Homo-oligomer: A and B are copies of this chain.
Amino acid sequence: MDNASNALAALADPTRRTIFERLAAKPSAVGELARGLPVSRPAVSQHLKVLKEAGLVADTPEGTSRVYRIDPRGIAAIRQWLDQFWTDALDSFAAFAEAESKEDDTP
């Protein structure tokens, strides 16, 4: 799926992965996240924007604050994309193993 592309690209950045993992452990506000990270608050905002557009997180206004949490849709998209190749990967390996065993004609 094309949505999986955005999700994969979003999780490629280490800082975004850290943010994602922390939100998985506990939904938090922007400043709360930035305080525990080595980057500034605007950087966290930009990362959250990317994660949101990738369908990996969702946000809810909470007064003057804004709470972010994990969105299962992004994870589902990546899983679906991966499973598309899972059987192919096993087939490739099975074919390789079989070709290897047939090469054993050197006694």
Copies in the complex: 2
Q: Which residues of B contact A40 (CB under 8 A)?
A: none
Residues of A at the B interface (CB closer than 8 Å) are 5, 8-9, 11-12, 14, 17, 20-21, 23-25, 27, 58, 60, 69-72, 75, 78-79, 82, 84-86, 88-90, 92-93, 95-96
Q: Which residues of B contact A23 (CB under 8 A)?
A: 92
Q: Which of B14, B25, B85 contacts A20 (CB 8 A)?
A: B85
The reply to whether A69 and B96 contact each other, CB–CB distance below 8 Å, is yes
Query: For A71, A79, A88, A95, which residue has the most chain B Cβ atoms within 10 angstroms?
Result: A88
The reply to whether A24 and B75 contact each other, CB–CB distance below 8 Å, is no
Chain B proximity of A105: nearest CB distance (Å): 17
